[in-house]
Amino acid sequence: MVVVLGMALLGAILGAMKARKRNGSGADIAQYAAGYGIAFAIVGLVLSLILVRLVG
């Protein structure tokens, strides 16, 4: 669970930074943060499942 939340937070930060770099408005920054956060959370979920399978 920590991996998923960590990846979601990392994705949100990276998305917000990317939108800010492209001079996006507040809504653009929020949308990029949400999109990247969701995408990174899915990747984190897959990584978490792989880790559980390998360790357990």
Query: Cα torsion for 38, 43, 45, 47, to the nearest 10°?
Result: -160
Residue 25, sorted as left (phi over 0), alpha (psi -120 to 50) or beta, turns out to be: beta
For 12, the token pair is 């949100």
Is the pLDDT score of 1 beyond 90?
A: no
Q: Is it the case that residue 56 has pLDDT exceeding 90?
A: no
3-state secondary structure of 22: coil
pTM: 0.90
